[in-house]
A and B are shown apart, each in its own frame.
Chain A
Amino acid sequence: MRAQQSAPTTTEETAEPPTAARLPLSVQAIYYKPLHRQPQHGLPVCNLMLRSYSVRQLEAQCDFALRAAYYLNMPATGIVSIPKKIRRWTVPRSNFVHKKSQENYERITRKRLIQIMDTNPEVVELWLAFLKKHAVYGVGMKADVWVFEKVGVGKTMNVSLSNLHDLKRPTWAHFGPRKTVETAAMVKDILESEKYKVPESQAPDTMGTMQRIT
């Protein structure tokens, strides 16, 4: 409009470009829904889960992710809405007693899912890094990435029956999440200390019954 109004001021400006010049397609696409590539094989490669407390930021990030996927030639299935998670708290209004007057508070976590198919893992990594770099604030992302191997990968993994047998040795049965390698070293120190020494008359070898189970 502005160009139209200023046009008649000079005669030289007749050669200027038409007022309703078409925007470049990539810019024009921003005004429309994100485009999708059609998957060829339909092999899922990456599941991107986005979650946020705010719908606007979440939608913006999803939109951005889909557009980025389109320009990277990645087939993506559109935005899937996952059931929202509502966490509620009820607290008394006052700081002391008056239990009858309470208030409710809630926090709603909204989730969206984008699935990527038929893409090279390197491209998926690139896409994820790009999303992370230009992330909208207040949106969390979690990606499950799958990599497909060639047929016969089992032979290269060095898995044998004896290996599996070693994995569940009963000596580790007493170890839990709190017991670490440091604990094992400490156990050794304690058992070797003077206080914990078993008299030779009662030593496990002579008793016979106290043999270690291996």
Chain B
Amino acid sequence: MFPTPLLQLSKKHPIGIFINARVLRDQMKREAFAENEQLRQALRYISQNTTLHPRQRAQAQLQLTTMHAHTRSTQFKNRCIVAGKGRGVFRDFRMGRYQFRLNALAGNLPGVKKASW
């Protein structure tokens, strides 16, 4: 697998969260997706609409496949905002499991306590 050529990252970057190359890459993908979302949906509509001419539908499908991979929402990876980890990230807190534990013990997460039953 060859690495996908990168798109350009905009000047603004996520301030206030942990930053490393992987976080920035994910941010870039999200920006690319947001920029091309309407176009992608329009092309999807054309390619899936059976009442349109087959030529137009094929054209839309071709254009969709030639679009950059980073314009797809499936390329997103939720990352820990405190440590930048890509695995074991809780969607509820946007934090990795270890950061979740530290913050829960510190009492930073409302309502989260150590459980015993």
- Hey, which bits of chain A sit against chain B, CB under 8 A? 53-54, 87-89, 91-95, 103-109, 138, 174-175, 178-180, 182-183, 186-187, 190-191, 195-196, 198, 202, 204, 210, 212-213
- State how many angstroms separate the Cβ of A126 from the closest Cβ of chain B: 30
Q: Which residues of A contact B90 (CB under 8 A)?
A: 89
Contact partner, B41, options A53, A178, A210, Cβ 8 Å: A178
CB-nearest residue of chain B relative to A214?
Answer: B51
Count, chain B residues at interface, CB 8 A: 33
How far is it, in angstroms, between the C-alpha of A104 and the C-alpha of B67 when the chains are bound? Answer: 45
Cβ-defined contact, A91 with B101, below 8 A? yes
Determine the chain B residues whose CB is within 8 A of the CB of A195 once the complex forms.
59
Give which listed residue, A92, A107, A187, A212, contacts B45 with CB less than 8 A: A187
From B7-15, B20-28, B106-114, the one touching the partner chain is B106-114
> B115 within 8 Å of A by Cβ?
yes
In the bound complex, CA of A186 to CA of B63 (Å): 14
B36-69 near A? 1/0 per residue, CB < 8 Å: 0111011101101101110110011000000000
Contact, CB under 8 Å: B111 / A202: no
Q: Is the CB of A190 within 8 A of B43?
A: yes
Give Cα distance in the complex from A54 to B115, angstroms. Answer: 15
B111: A residues at CB distance < 8 A: 53-54, 107-109
Q: B72 interface residue, CB < 8 Å from A?
A: no
A83 CB to closest chain B CB, in angstroms? Answer: 16
Q: Report yes or no: A183 in contact with B115, Cβ–Cβ below 8 A.
A: no
When A and B form their complex, what is the total count of cross-chain residue pairs whose Cβ atoms lie within 8 Å?
Answer: 86
Pick from A54, A93, A196, A198 the residue with the most CB of B within 10 Å.
A196
Which residues on the B side are within 8 Å of A183 (C-beta)? 38, 41-42, 45
Are B42 and A174 in touch, CB under 8 angstroms? no
How far is B115's CA from A198's CA once the two chains are assembled, in angstroms? Answer: 66
Does B18 belong to the interface (CB within 8 Å)?
A: no
Does B97 sit at the interface, judged by CB under 8 A? yes
The one of B42, B51, B59 in contact with A186, judged by C-beta atoms closer than 8 angstroms, is B42
A210 cross-chain contacts in B, Cβ below 8 A: 51-53
Query: Can you pick out 17 interface pairs between chain A and chain B where the beta carbons lie within 8 Å of each other?
Result: A54-B111, A89-B90, A91-B88, A94-B98, A95-B98, A105-B100, A105-B115, A109-B111, A138-B110, A175-B45, A190-B43, A190-B60, A191-B52, A191-B56, A196-B46, A202-B53, A210-B51
